[in-house]
Structure 1
Amino acid sequence: MANTNNLPLYQVRADCDRTSIVVYQAYRAEIADAAVRAQRFVAPFSLSRMTWIKPSFLWMMGRCGWARKPGQERVLAVRITRAGWEKALSQAVLTSYESGVYADRADWERQIKHATVNVQWDPERTLSGAVLDARSIQVGLSRHIVAEYVEDWTTEIRDITPTVRKMAELIKEGRKDRAAEHLPKERPYEVPVEIARRLGM
């Protein structure tokens, strides 16, 4: 792995403003179309399953293969309230044990068993798909809290698939500079101290 961008190992980076933050999800067409029309997640989206939200655009591109992987052909940019985002993080339990975050492994096992929100840190990506040492946050919302994400936190849902596919073509043509012009303006998100401790930051 490389960390050519000199990013901190654990940092939340996002397209955000004073009141909101953008997270990304990729779905099949039926779910995406219904969500964009309603400007909220509706059937066939399921409220009974865990849903994962990610603020890193490039990590999402690595995950969905630039909207080419089956079932992930449509990429949505979902703007949610900062209050909702921080509520989720304040309930988060890491998906793997970290000493210093939990009293001991048994403490972590108790917490993860009953967690309403899971967090894992995955290697960040570059525009060309290279894997970095720096980590990108993934937040898993369980069925116990996902309804709040859908009904209370979400303020806008945009289908950014055309831009994603255009960027993929530019990269394929060796025109990374042109592709980079379409990147969302992500910046460090200041996480409250108590939440940062919970996230192992």
Structure 2
Amino acid sequence: MELKLKKYNEQLQGWPEKGHHIMAQYNDDKIVVYQSYRKEIGEFALKNQYFGGEFSLDRMTWIKPNFLWMMYRNGWGRKEGQEYVLAIHLKMSAFKRYLENAVYSSYNDKLGVSREEWQNQVKESSVRLQWDPDHDPFGNKLERRAVQIGLKKEFTHSFAHEDILLIENISDFVKEQYQFVLNDDLGNLMIPEEKPLLFNDENLNKTLRLDKN
């Protein structure tokens, strides 16, 4: 795997406990996001290094840069239809473009626009932004918020093909690490090394409601 790994307990010491944070493995050029699929879709993506075959370009697809949030969502690869876990290395420029075009998936007063304006933005945008409670390895909710990004139409097409640098199958790794969770042995749990992401664009950070600590 090209994923960089680090012990969960070691990372935990430096992670923010609350606030809105894009926890991810990234550098200036790329960022890793996660998805889970049934075997047919996963195998096609792994073999061809893009999404096609039974992958639907007409449906919204959700990407998650936070490994443990993905493990909460797919039950550590045990949920039906989510057994094939992929680490997708994306161009950072593409990931930023998604967020620059994103509209919040639900309305709240903090958005700074009226409900009607938000509804119009939703109609026009093909990217959704959603903040959900982050989770620990056991699936317990945390105060920290984790992001997921929904793509459709032209953004799904772009994501499925030209935005991808590498697709890795991490299903076996996930199964191996889940055994430590089952045994309540977090001291040996290894997960992808992650840190909070902030952009050089302060307006974007503000729009995303990203916290700095």
> TM (normalized to structure 2)?
0.87
Distance 1:108 1:200, change over 3 A: farther
* Alpha-carbon displacement from aligned partner over 1:126-178 (angstroms, at most 9, x marks no partner): 12221101110000001231111122210000000101001111211222211
Q: Contact between 2:67 and 2:192, CA under 8 Å: does it hold in 1?
A: yes
Identify which of 17, 20, 43 aligns with 1:33: 43
Is 72-81 or 165-174 further displaced after alignment?
165-174
Residues of 1 paired with 2:124 and 2:72: CA distance?
30
- Pairing of 1:2-151 with structure 2 (within 5 A): 6-151=16-161
Distance 1:6 1:16, change over 3 A: closer
Residues of 2 paired with 1:199 and 1:98: CA distance?
13
Shift of 1:6: 4.2
The runs of 5 or more residues in structure 2 that have no matched partner are 1-12
Q: Contact between 2:85 and 2:169, CA under 8 Å: does it hold in 1?
A: yes
Residues of 2 paired with 1:36 and 1:55: CA distance?
18
Q: Contact between 1:93 and 1:198, CA under 8 Å: does it hold in 2?
A: no
Q: Contact between 2:18 and 2:142, CA under 8 Å: does it hold in 1?
A: no
1:195 aligned partner? 204
The number of residue pairs the alignment matches comes to 196
Residues of 2 paired with 1:187 and 1:71: CA distance?
29
Is 12-21 or 125-134 further displaced after alignment?
125-134
Identify which of 165, 178, 184 aligns with 2:192: 184
Residues of 1 paired with 2:46 and 2:112: CA distance?
40
Q: Contact between 1:101 and 1:197, CA under 8 Å: does it hold in 2?
A: no
Q: Contact between 1:98 and 1:200, CA under 8 Å: does it hold in 2?
A: no
Question: What is the CA RMSD across the aligned residues, in angstroms?
Answer: 1.5
Shift of 1:8: 3.8
Q: Contact between 2:72 and 2:137, CA under 8 Å: does it hold in 1?
A: no
Is 123-132 or 189-198 further displaced after alignment?
189-198
Distance 1:8 1:170, change over 3 A: closer
Q: Contact between 1:29 and 1:74, CA under 8 Å: does it hold in 2?
A: yes
> TM (normalized to structure 1)?
0.92
- Pairing of 1:153-164 with structure 2 (within 5 A): 153-164=163-174
Residues of 2 paired with 1:48 and 1:24: CA distance?
20
The runs of 5 or more residues in structure 1 that have no matched partner are none
- Percentage identity across paired residues of the two chains: 34
